[in-house]
Amino acid sequence: MLSSWMRPPAFSTAVRCLCVRAFGREDALPRRSGGRVRDFQEIPHTGSNGWINLLRFWKDGRFSLLHKHMENTFRRLGPIYREHLGSQSSVNIMLPMDIGELFRSEGLHPRRMTLQPWATHRETRRHSKGVFLKNGTEWRADRLLLNREVMVASAVRRFLPLLDDVAQDFCHSLRHRVETEGVGETGQRSMTLDPSPDLFRFALEASCHVLYGERIGLFSSSPSEESERFIWAVERMLATTPPLLYLPPRLLLRLRAPLWTQHATAWDHIFSHAETRIQRGYQRLQTPVGGASDGRFQGVLGQLMEAGQLSLELIKANITELMAGGVDTTAVPLQFALFELGRNPDVQERVRAQVLSSWEKASGNPQKALQGAPLLKGTVKETLRLYPVGITVQRYPIRDIVLQNYHVPAGTLVQVCLYPLGRSREVFDRPERFDPSRWSAESATPDAASGGSFRSLAFGFGSRQCVGRRIAENEMQLLLMHILRNFRLTVSSTEELNTKYTLILQPESPPRITFTTRSL
């Protein structure tokens, strides 16, 4: 992309018009002064004193509404602004043209903001760090080894049947429950429920099956206390992370602050659960029946141990990170997806028709079934456009760049704000509409000036994108496929869901969904 001072006048005029339409007034936009790139300090900001800003955040309860704060700040200050919160400072952007410029300056070893509370926990407990918390050449070496087991096409083919088994078992269990406890005629029994506890169990069961190669029986009438404690620990860890990002963790550790104690205790539970599963997997792999010689897929843990290129400590660190990041981050988007399908019956029927046709042609092959139903992938992308799990993607550019005609020095933390991006009228046509078909090849005609492909970033971008992306995408698509085969979905209210931020975006109150059985 041309630097802003090299763009032809017609292009600059077009971008100015684009931004005026987006933000409603021209005085919020950066102005040129004889073609001069404006200084970093001239970028609009929310206040120069980070500690005062942090106190205001706490006082106003803005941590739980950070996504709304970002959206409102862009409306007030324009398409770029600076934010100081406690010890953190960032430049925040939302337009695809700026996002593209940022990613082109990320370098061979892209860096994102380190979650210092997580890193401090690893250091104080003497745990190794996985790729999520690493940077530089060490990160790249480990990440390339992990990609072979979780990202490449051959890896997906290995674990897809395991995900499909769990998705089908979930739907069989739910169907049995609706048929025995629901109301209505045989064949069209209905039951209204909050599916979130079941979705959390599904996500944990699926993650364990793929990562450890074993089922843990969470669809039984009495799931284990160990697994319930793990789900609680992940939720507690996520909830305590945001306020800790802006304070010195080691100071809180020395002061034995309750917030830090809660956070560290939650991580201890997560590591304890993972350690137990890893030890079981290791013992199973040492026996002739469970070894790799029988040709069965032994899970990502088994693949990494068999390859022998990562130490056992690094395998533990990365498996634990994948487990911690693989439950809420799929269970919560599934809540949103079921809600949107329920309140958009026409969309639901279009997706279902494609699913049923593809399933029949695929003869039970899950990979072929997904390939023949692109609206499933569109449903996941559309859900994450409106409700991104993580609300920012961060990078530290390795060279000076120009964003919105402002100079941004190398090494500055720049955050791409996904919630306002996904709801921008200048980036998406009728953004309030839930429309999975907008992502199909025929209708995806993004304007080059608007940044083209930098519109769907829920899993990040490039070599530093989410390492569990392929697991999560397929897990969600397979469950939605089998739910649509088994049930019709309705909701009692079509009002917008209120949302809150606790390191991930989630409903303020889980939506209740009515599941009505349909003939298979």
In angstroms, the Cα distances linking 64 to 23, 70, 129, 423, 510 are 24, 12, 28, 19, 16
Give me the long-range contacts of 356-359 (CB less than 8 A, separation at least 24).
356/484, 356/485, 359/481, 359/485
Are the beta carbons of 246 and 87 closer than 8 angstroms? yes
Task: Say if pTM beats, i.e. exceeds, 0.75.
Answer: yes
pLDDT tens sequence across 218-254: 887 776 788 888 889 999 999 999 888 888 888 888 8
With cut-offs at 50, 70 and 90, classify the pLDDT of residue 96. Answer: very high
Q: Supply the mean pLDDT for the chain.
A: 88
What average pLDDT does the segment 451-466 reach?
88
Q: Is 466 annotated as a binding residue?
A: yes
- Separation of CA 266 from chain center: 20
Helix, strand, coil percentages, rounded to 5, for the chain: 60, 10, 35
- The residue type of 226 is E
Helix/strand/coil (H, E, C) string of 223-268?
CCHHHHHHHHHHHHHHHHHHHHCCCCHHHHHHHCCHHHHHHHHHHH
pLDDT tens sequence across 11-55: 333 444 444 444 444 444 444 444 789 999 999 999 999 999 999
Are the beta carbons of 70 and 422 closer than 8 angstroms? no
Whole-number Å distance between alpha carbons of 479 and 398:
40
What one-character DSSP code corresponds to residue 498?
Answer: P
| pLDDT value at residue 38 | 97
What average pLDDT does the segment 323-329 reach?
91
Whole-number Å distance between alpha carbons of 123 and 120:
5
| pLDDT value at residue 288 | 58
Whole-number Å distance between alpha carbons of 311 and 129:
12
Ordered alpha helix ranges (H), 344-468: 345-362, 366-371, 374-386, 418-422
Residue 129 backbone phi and psi in degrees, to 5: -100, 140
| pLDDT value at residue 497 | 95
Q: Please name the helix (run of DSSP H) or strand (run of DSSP E) that holds residue 277, with its range, or none.
A: helix 258-286
What DSSP line would sit under 310-362, residue for residue?
Answer: S-HHHHHHHHHHHHHTSSHHHHHHHHHHHHHHHH-HHHHHHHHHHHHHHHHHH
pLDDT tens sequence across 380-413: 999 999 999 999 999 999 999 999 999 999 999 9
| pLDDT value at residue 285 | 77
Tokens describing residue 125: 């407990």
